[in-house]
Protein backbone atom coordinates (compact mmCIF):
# COMPACT_ATOMS: atom_id res chain seq x y z
CA UNK A 1 0.00 0.00 0.00
CA UNK A 2 1.05 3.59 -0.59
CA UNK A 3 -0.34 6.90 0.55
CA UNK A 4 -3.43 7.69 -1.54
CA UNK A 5 -5.47 10.87 -1.36
CA UNK A 6 -8.90 9.19 -1.42
CA UNK A 7 -10.47 12.60 -1.02
CA UNK A 8 -9.19 15.10 -3.62
CA UNK A 9 -11.59 17.99 -3.04
CA UNK A 10 -12.95 18.26 -6.61
CA UNK A 11 -16.48 17.01 -5.82
CA UNK A 12 -16.70 14.65 -8.80
CA UNK A 13 -18.18 11.18 -8.29
CA UNK A 14 -15.95 8.22 -9.29
CA UNK A 15 -17.01 5.62 -11.80
CA UNK A 16 -17.23 3.14 -8.94
CA UNK A 17 -16.90 3.42 -5.18
CA UNK A 18 -13.32 3.20 -3.92
CA UNK A 19 -12.52 0.78 -1.13
CA UNK A 20 -10.41 2.20 1.68
CA UNK A 21 -7.23 0.53 2.83
CA UNK A 22 -7.49 -1.77 5.89
CA UNK A 23 -7.99 0.07 9.18
CA UNK A 24 -5.39 0.19 11.97
CA UNK A 25 -5.75 -2.83 14.29
CA UNK A 26 -7.20 -0.65 17.08
CA UNK A 27 -9.90 0.78 14.76
CA UNK A 28 -11.31 -2.46 13.39
CA UNK A 29 -15.02 -3.09 13.91
CA UNK A 30 -16.58 -4.85 15.65
CA UNK A 31 -14.12 -3.64 18.25
CA UNK A 32 -11.83 -6.37 19.48
CA UNK A 33 -10.34 -6.54 22.99
CA UNK A 34 -6.81 -5.23 23.37
CA UNK A 35 -5.69 -7.57 26.15
CA UNK A 36 -2.94 -9.07 23.99
CA UNK A 37 -1.54 -5.70 22.97
CA UNK A 38 -1.59 -4.02 26.40
CA UNK A 39 1.86 -3.66 28.00
CA UNK A 40 1.66 -3.17 31.81
CA UNK A 41 3.71 -0.27 33.13
CA UNK A 42 6.23 -0.78 35.96
CA UNK A 43 4.44 -1.33 39.27
CA UNK A 44 1.01 -1.90 37.72
CA UNK A 45 1.08 -5.70 38.05
CA UNK A 46 1.74 -5.37 41.79
CA UNK A 47 -1.09 -2.85 42.18
CA UNK A 48 -3.54 -5.13 40.36
CA UNK A 49 -2.61 -8.14 42.47
CA UNK A 50 -2.91 -6.11 45.68
CA UNK A 51 -6.42 -4.99 44.67
CA UNK A 52 -7.41 -8.55 43.77
CA UNK A 53 -6.15 -10.08 47.01
CA UNK A 54 -7.52 -7.32 49.25
CA UNK A 55 -10.88 -7.19 47.44
CA UNK A 56 -10.46 -3.44 47.04
CA UNK A 57 -11.18 -1.22 44.01
CA UNK A 58 -8.14 -0.16 41.99
CA UNK A 59 -8.03 3.60 41.35
CA UNK A 60 -5.88 4.39 38.30
CA UNK A 61 -4.87 8.00 37.73
CA UNK A 62 -3.22 9.27 34.57
CA UNK A 63 -3.70 11.30 31.41
CA UNK A 64 -6.16 10.33 28.68
CA UNK A 65 -4.87 7.62 26.37
CA UNK A 66 -2.43 6.12 28.90
CA UNK A 67 -4.13 2.72 28.87
CA UNK A 68 -6.06 2.99 32.16
CA UNK A 69 -9.28 1.48 30.82
CA UNK A 70 -7.45 -1.34 29.00
CA UNK A 71 -5.95 -2.81 32.17
CA UNK A 72 -9.20 -4.44 33.22
CA UNK A 73 -9.62 -6.20 29.86
CA UNK A 74 -6.31 -7.98 30.33
CA UNK A 75 -7.09 -8.92 33.94
CA UNK A 76 -10.56 -10.21 33.01
CA UNK A 77 -9.11 -12.47 30.32
CA UNK A 78 -6.24 -13.81 32.46
CA UNK A 79 -8.56 -14.60 35.40
CA UNK A 80 -11.56 -15.76 33.35
CA UNK A 81 -13.88 -13.12 34.82
CA UNK A 82 -16.09 -12.89 31.73
CA UNK A 83 -17.11 -9.77 29.79
CA UNK A 84 -16.19 -6.47 31.45
CA UNK A 85 -19.08 -4.46 32.85
CA UNK A 86 -18.72 -0.74 32.07
CA UNK A 87 -20.03 2.32 33.89
CA UNK A 88 -19.12 5.52 32.07
CA UNK A 89 -19.34 8.44 34.49
CA UNK A 90 -20.78 11.88 33.69
CA UNK A 91 -21.77 14.79 35.92
CA UNK A 92 -25.32 13.34 35.95
CA UNK A 93 -24.34 9.82 37.04
CA UNK A 94 -25.91 8.57 40.29
CA UNK A 95 -25.31 5.55 42.48
CA UNK A 96 -28.95 4.51 42.07
CA UNK A 97 -28.62 4.28 38.27
CA UNK A 98 -25.47 2.16 38.64
CA UNK A 99 -27.23 -0.28 40.97
CA UNK A 100 -30.52 -0.74 39.09
CA UNK A 101 -32.85 1.00 36.63
CA UNK A 102 -36.62 1.25 37.14
CA UNK A 103 -38.84 2.48 34.31
CA UNK A 104 -41.72 3.82 36.42
CA UNK A 105 -43.29 5.75 33.52
CA UNK A 106 -43.20 2.66 31.32
CA UNK A 107 -44.98 0.66 33.99
CA UNK A 108 -47.71 3.32 34.40
CA UNK A 109 -48.18 3.48 30.63
CA UNK A 110 -48.47 -0.33 30.41
CA UNK A 111 -51.05 -0.38 33.22
CA UNK A 112 -53.17 2.20 31.40
CA UNK A 113 -53.04 0.21 28.17
CA UNK A 114 -53.93 -3.07 29.88
CA UNK A 115 -56.65 -1.62 32.12
CA UNK A 116 -57.30 -2.20 35.77
CA UNK A 117 -57.55 -5.97 35.36
CA UNK A 118 -54.22 -6.20 33.52
CA UNK A 119 -50.98 -7.64 34.84
CA UNK A 120 -49.11 -5.61 37.44
CA UNK A 121 -45.81 -7.49 36.98
CA UNK A 122 -42.96 -5.11 37.87
CA UNK A 123 -40.09 -7.21 36.51
CA UNK A 124 -40.23 -6.07 32.84
CA UNK A 125 -39.56 -2.53 34.02
CA UNK A 126 -36.55 -3.31 36.22
CA UNK A 127 -32.98 -3.94 35.10
CA UNK A 128 -29.77 -4.25 37.07
CA UNK A 129 -27.20 -1.52 36.51
CA UNK A 130 -23.49 -2.21 35.88
CA UNK A 131 -22.52 -1.96 39.57
CA UNK A 132 -25.63 -3.86 40.65
CA UNK A 133 -24.80 -6.68 38.21
CA UNK A 134 -21.23 -6.82 39.50
CA UNK A 135 -22.56 -7.26 43.05
CA UNK A 136 -24.92 -10.12 42.23
CA UNK A 137 -23.99 -13.35 44.04
CA UNK A 138 -21.96 -15.68 41.81
CA UNK A 139 -19.25 -18.34 41.96
CA UNK A 140 -16.69 -16.02 40.37
CA UNK A 141 -15.99 -12.30 40.61
CA UNK A 142 -17.12 -10.00 37.81
CA UNK A 143 -14.96 -7.22 36.37
CA UNK A 144 -16.35 -3.65 36.48
CA UNK A 145 -14.81 -0.55 34.89
CA UNK A 146 -15.89 2.76 36.44
CA UNK A 147 -14.54 5.11 33.79
CA UNK A 148 -13.55 8.74 34.54
CA UNK A 149 -14.90 8.92 38.07
CA UNK A 150 -13.40 12.40 38.41
CA UNK A 151 -16.14 13.60 36.01
CA UNK A 152 -18.81 12.73 38.60
CA UNK A 153 -20.88 14.93 40.87
CA UNK A 154 -19.00 15.82 44.06
CA UNK A 155 -21.12 13.45 46.18
CA UNK A 156 -20.85 10.30 44.07
CA UNK A 157 -17.52 8.95 45.48
CA UNK A 158 -18.92 9.27 49.01
CA UNK A 159 -22.21 7.67 47.93
CA UNK A 160 -20.23 4.68 46.65
CA UNK A 161 -18.60 3.98 50.01
CA UNK A 162 -21.40 1.95 51.60
CA UNK A 163 -22.02 -0.22 48.54
CA UNK A 164 -18.31 -0.92 48.11
CA UNK A 165 -17.75 -1.56 51.81
CA UNK A 166 -20.79 -3.77 52.49
CA UNK A 167 -21.16 -5.37 49.05
CA UNK A 168 -24.94 -5.23 49.29
CA UNK A 169 -27.88 -2.96 48.55
CA UNK A 170 -31.67 -2.90 48.50
CA UNK A 171 -34.09 -2.31 45.64
CA UNK A 172 -36.94 -0.47 47.43
CA UNK A 173 -39.50 -1.18 44.70
CA UNK A 174 -38.96 -4.93 45.24
CA UNK A 175 -38.81 -4.68 49.03
CA UNK A 176 -42.42 -3.37 48.88
CA UNK A 177 -43.52 -5.72 46.10
CA UNK A 178 -46.08 -8.46 46.73
CA UNK A 179 -43.86 -11.21 45.34
CA UNK A 180 -40.88 -12.24 47.50
CA UNK A 181 -38.87 -13.72 44.62
CA UNK A 182 -38.49 -12.10 41.20
CA UNK A 183 -36.04 -12.50 38.31
CA UNK A 184 -34.42 -9.32 36.97
CA UNK A 185 -32.35 -8.83 33.81
CA UNK A 186 -28.63 -8.22 34.24
CA UNK A 187 -26.93 -5.18 32.73
CA UNK A 188 -24.95 -6.87 29.97
CA UNK A 189 -27.52 -9.15 28.39
CA UNK A 190 -30.85 -10.90 28.71
CA UNK A 191 -29.80 -13.29 31.46
CA UNK A 192 -32.00 -12.96 34.55
CA UNK A 193 -31.01 -13.25 38.18
CA UNK A 194 -33.12 -14.16 41.17
CA UNK A 195 -33.71 -11.35 43.70
CA UNK A 196 -35.23 -12.26 47.07
CA UNK A 197 -37.23 -9.61 48.94
CA UNK A 198 -35.38 -6.82 47.16
CA UNK A 199 -31.95 -7.59 48.65
CA UNK A 200 -28.73 -8.04 46.66
CA UNK A 201 -25.69 -9.40 48.51
CA UNK A 202 -22.48 -10.25 46.67
CA UNK A 203 -20.73 -13.54 47.43
CA UNK A 204 -17.49 -12.70 45.58
CA UNK A 205 -16.44 -9.05 45.58
CA UNK A 206 -15.97 -7.84 41.99
CA UNK A 207 -12.67 -6.65 40.56
CA UNK A 208 -13.30 -2.93 40.13
CA UNK A 209 -11.07 -0.52 38.23
CA UNK A 210 -11.87 3.18 38.57
CA UNK A 211 -10.07 5.60 36.27
CA UNK A 212 -9.32 9.26 36.83
CA UNK A 213 -7.59 11.88 34.72
CA UNK A 214 -6.44 13.61 37.90
CA UNK A 215 -8.77 16.57 37.44
CA UNK A 216 -10.09 16.62 41.04
CA UNK A 217 -9.37 15.51 44.60
CA UNK A 218 -11.30 12.71 46.33
CA UNK A 219 -12.35 12.42 50.00
CA UNK A 220 -9.85 10.63 52.25
CA UNK A 221 -12.55 8.14 53.31
CA UNK A 222 -12.94 7.15 49.65
CA UNK A 223 -9.21 6.96 48.93
CA UNK A 224 -8.40 4.73 51.89
CA UNK A 225 -10.79 2.11 50.56
CA UNK A 226 -8.93 1.93 47.23
CA UNK A 227 -5.60 0.63 46.03
CA UNK A 228 -4.20 3.65 44.18
CA UNK A 229 -1.79 3.68 41.26
CA UNK A 230 -0.60 6.64 39.19
CA UNK A 231 0.40 5.83 35.62
CA UNK A 232 4.10 6.78 35.24
CA UNK A 233 5.44 9.10 32.56
CA UNK A 234 6.07 7.03 29.39
CA UNK A 235 9.66 6.47 28.31
CA UNK A 236 11.08 5.73 24.85
CA UNK A 237 11.51 2.07 25.82
CA UNK A 238 7.95 1.74 27.13
CA UNK A 239 6.41 3.38 24.07
CA UNK A 240 8.51 1.24 21.73
CA UNK A 241 7.03 -1.86 23.42
CA UNK A 242 3.51 -0.40 23.02
CA UNK A 243 4.02 0.30 19.32
CA UNK A 244 5.49 -3.17 18.79
CA UNK A 245 2.50 -4.79 20.51
CA UNK A 246 0.03 -2.97 18.26
CA UNK A 247 1.93 -3.09 14.96
CA UNK A 248 5.18 -5.07 14.62
CA UNK A 249 8.92 -4.90 15.26
CA UNK A 250 9.55 -3.37 11.85
CA UNK A 251 7.22 -0.43 12.41
CA UNK A 252 8.47 0.20 15.95
CA UNK A 253 12.14 -0.10 15.03
CA UNK A 254 12.13 2.11 11.93
CA UNK A 255 14.00 5.40 12.00
CA UNK A 256 10.78 7.34 11.46
CA UNK A 257 9.02 5.54 14.32
CA UNK A 258 11.91 6.07 16.72
CA UNK A 259 12.04 9.76 15.82
CA UNK A 260 8.29 10.08 16.46
CA UNK A 261 8.60 8.30 19.81
CA UNK A 262 11.57 10.41 20.92
CA UNK A 263 9.80 13.64 19.96
CA UNK A 264 6.62 12.48 21.71
CA UNK A 265 8.49 11.76 24.98
CA UNK A 266 10.33 15.10 24.80
CA UNK A 267 7.04 16.96 24.44
CA UNK A 268 5.56 15.09 27.40
CA UNK A 269 8.58 16.03 29.51
CA UNK A 270 7.93 19.68 28.65
CA UNK A 271 4.44 19.34 30.12
CA UNK A 272 2.41 19.02 26.92
CA UNK A 273 -0.83 17.03 27.08
CA UNK A 274 -0.66 14.18 24.57
CA UNK A 275 -2.21 10.68 24.43
CA UNK A 276 -0.53 7.43 23.47
CA UNK A 277 -3.16 6.68 20.83
CA UNK A 278 -2.08 9.87 19.03
CA UNK A 279 1.42 8.42 18.78
CA UNK A 280 0.04 5.13 17.46
CA UNK A 281 -1.92 7.00 14.78
CA UNK A 282 1.19 8.93 13.74
CA UNK A 283 3.40 5.81 13.61
CA UNK A 284 0.78 3.93 11.60
CA UNK A 285 0.45 6.64 8.95
CA UNK A 286 4.05 7.85 8.82
CA UNK A 287 6.26 4.78 9.25
CA UNK A 288 4.38 1.94 7.52
CA UNK A 289 3.91 1.16 3.84
CA UNK A 290 1.15 3.75 3.45
CA UNK A 291 3.44 6.63 4.52
CA UNK A 292 3.21 9.82 2.43
CA UNK A 293 6.15 11.54 0.77
CA UNK A 294 8.38 13.86 2.77
CA UNK A 295 6.49 16.94 1.62
CA UNK A 296 3.26 15.81 3.28
CA UNK A 297 4.83 14.05 6.25
CA UNK A 298 5.44 17.13 8.41
CA UNK A 299 1.90 18.46 7.93
CA UNK A 300 0.35 15.09 8.86
CA UNK A 301 2.60 14.72 11.91
CA UNK A 302 1.53 18.15 13.13
CA UNK A 303 -2.12 17.29 12.47
CA UNK A 304 -2.06 14.04 14.44
CA UNK A 305 0.11 15.15 17.36
CA UNK A 306 -1.68 18.36 18.28
CA UNK A 307 -1.64 19.18 21.99
CA UNK A 308 -4.88 18.16 23.73
CA UNK A 309 -5.37 21.19 25.93
CA UNK A 310 -6.35 23.30 22.93
CA UNK A 311 -8.87 22.72 20.16
| Mean pLDDT, all residues of the chain | 89
Quickly count: other Cβ atoms within 10 Å of residue 37's Cβ. Answer: 19
Mean pLDDT lowest among 77-91, 157-171, 185-199, 276-290:
276-290
Identify the pLDDT of residue 290: 72
Question: For residue range 116-144, what is the model confidence (pLDDT) as tens digits?
Answer: 555 678 889 999 999 999 999 999 999 99
Of the candidates 190, 130, 194, 123, which has an alpha carbon nearest to the alpha carbon of residue 160? 130
Quickly count: other Cβ atoms within 10 Å of residue 183's Cβ. Answer: 11
For residues 40 and 174, give the distance between their C-alpha atoms in angstroms, rounded to a whole number. 43
- pLDDT-derived band at 101 (thresholds 50, 70, 90) equals very high
Identify the pLDDT of residue 4: 66
pLDDT, greater one: 267 or 293: 267
Identify the pLDDT of residue 119: 62
Whether the CB-CB separation of 26 and 246 falls below 8 Å is answered with: yes
For residues 253 and 243, give the distance between their C-alpha atoms in angstroms, rounded to a whole number. 9
Q: Is the pLDDT of residue 148 over 80?
A: yes
For residues 102 and 188, give the distance between their C-alpha atoms in angstroms, rounded to a whole number. 16
pTM of the model as a whole = 0.85
How do 207-212 and 58-61 pair as beta strands?
A: parallel
Q: What percent of the chain has pLDDT over 70?
A: 95
Q: How far is CA 110 from CA 105, 147, 151, in A?
A: 9, 35, 36
Interior/surface letters 38-59, b for 16+ CB within 10 angstroms, e for the rest: bbbbeebeebbeebbeeebbbb
Average pLDDT over residues 28-39: 76
Identify the pLDDT of residue 182: 94
Average pLDDT over residues 251-268: 92
Amino acid sequence: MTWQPFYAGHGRAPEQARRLDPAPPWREFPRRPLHNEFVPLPGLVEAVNAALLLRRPLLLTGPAGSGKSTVIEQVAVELGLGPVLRWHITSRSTLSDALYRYDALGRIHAQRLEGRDGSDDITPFLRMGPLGTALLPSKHSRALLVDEIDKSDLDLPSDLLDALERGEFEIPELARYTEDVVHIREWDGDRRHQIVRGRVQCSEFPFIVMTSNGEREFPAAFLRRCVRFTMPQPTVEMLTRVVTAHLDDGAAGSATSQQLIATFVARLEKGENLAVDQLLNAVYLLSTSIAPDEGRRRDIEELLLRELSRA
